[in-house]
Amino acid sequence: MKKTNTYQSIKISKDSYEKVDDTLVVEAPLQININNEAYTVVMRTPGDDEELTRGLLYAEGICKKKEDLQVEIISENEDFSTVINVRISRDKLGKGYLNKRTLLSVSSCGICGKKELNDLKVEGKSLSRTENNTIESIVDVGNSMFFKMSKLQNLFKSTGGSHACAIFNSSSELLTIKEDIGRHNAVDKCVGDLILQDKLKEAQFMLVSGRVSYEIVSKAFLAKTPIIIAVSACSSLAVDFAKEFGICLIGFSRNNKMTVYANPQLIN
């Protein structure tokens, strides 16, 4: 099962600009049905889907014994999305099944709570450029914003165990910064703060302290924030959705370098 994919990207620094082929980890949805009824969708790297399913159902208190369930693949698609069905006799279903999983994801995947692959949609027109940033200046802009963000990551300084999100306007002025143990929670807190401040329309740059998955891109899109800059990597699905949504997606922003994966025209 393919676990990586190659994407064209642009690696930039203060004095260089190079198009390269970059290897990204695949992020794709796995829909789990129980007795032919949709139970949940989890995002995962393809492979070991039966093991993932058995481990998840064990943790959720649905089925503890190997012999009490059978796993069958219903469909496997070219985009690595997969549907599997788990057969468990009714008398063997644990109490966890009664919760009908609005799953709190344990994989930091972001799709938590979705029940079917068709639920993975975000409606709206793709974003368009609202401000000009030159390809040469974006490294300095990113550095400046990350410096402001890091100075205010008090929870991380104390614990080393939290993520942060910060949102800036088109003049690189900080609008909000929030920390949380979860990457997606930090993003939600920032968006919620700007809603309370009536400043969401000013959002131009979303900076995140970790990697970027599908869900962070979708949250930025819904908040109409056109540029995401991350310290770490981006998943394959994050890049796919960023391209579709018209979001400039930038990863590995560190040491005066960064990699642009989608819509570089927003900064050029």
User: What would the pLDDT profile of 203-213 be if each residue is shown by its tens digit?
Assistant: 999 999 999 99
Residue 112 has pLDDT above 50, yes or no: no
In a domain, 233, yes or no: yes
Eight-class DSSP state of 106: S
What's the sign of the alpha-carbon dihedral 194, 162, 103, 28?
positive
| Catalytic site includes residue 234 | no
Domain ranges, residue 105: 28-119
How many beta carbons lie within 10 A of that of residue 78, not counting itself? 5
pLDDT at residue 118, as a whole number: 61
Q: pLDDT band for position 102 (50/70/90)?
A: very low
Residue 114 has pLDDT above 60, yes or no: no
In a domain, 14, yes or no: no
Q: Which helix (H) or strand (E) holds 266?
A: none
Residues 44, 165, single domain; the answer is: no
With beta carbons less than 8 A apart as the criterion, state whether 113 and 219 touch. Answer: no
Residues 193, 239, single domain; the answer is: yes
pLDDT at residue 98, as a whole number: 58
Residues 131, 260, single domain; the answer is: yes
Last residue of a domain, one of 86, 119, 152: 119
In a domain, 156, yes or no: yes
- The domain total for the chain is 2
Distance CA 186, CA 193 (A): 11
Distance CA 232, CA 58 (A): 31
Question: Helix count (H) and strand count (E) of the chain?
Answer: 6, 12
Residues 108, 69, single domain; the answer is: yes
pLDDT tens, 7-62?
999 999 877 888 999 999 898 889 999 999 888 888 888 988 999 888 888 877 88
| Global pTM value | 0.77
With beta carbons less than 8 A apart as the criterion, state whether 55 and 38 touch. Answer: no
Residues 43, 157, single domain; the answer is: no
Query: CATH number of the domain that 179 lies in?
Result: 3.40.140.10
Distance CA 248, CA 260 (A): 7
Residues 57, 151, single domain; the answer is: no
How many beta carbons lie within 10 A of that of residue 173, not counting itself? 11
Among the options 63, 109, 190, 248, which is catalytic?
Answer: 109
Distance CA 251, CA 261 (A): 7
Distance CA 223, CA 189 (A): 12
Residues 35, 83, single domain; the answer is: yes
Q: Please tell me which residue, 244 or 185, carries the higher pLDDT value.
A: 244
In a domain, 17, yes or no: no
Residue 154 has pLDDT above 70, yes or no: yes
Residues 61, 132, single domain; the answer is: no
Residues 147, 262, single domain; the answer is: yes
In a domain, 143, yes or no: yes
With beta carbons less than 8 A apart as the criterion, state whether 11 and 20 touch. Answer: yes
In a domain, 88, yes or no: yes
Residues 112, 171, single domain; the answer is: no
Distance CA 89, CA 61 (A): 15
End-to-end CA distance of the chain: 37
In a domain, 20, yes or no: no
- Give the bridge partners for 257, in sequence order: 13, 254
In a domain, 144, yes or no: yes
pLDDT at residue 135, as a whole number: 54
Q: Which helix (H) or strand (E) holds 145?
A: helix 138-151
Residues 263, 146, single domain; the answer is: yes
Mean per-residue pLDDT over the chain, rounded: 84
Residues 248, 130, single domain; the answer is: yes
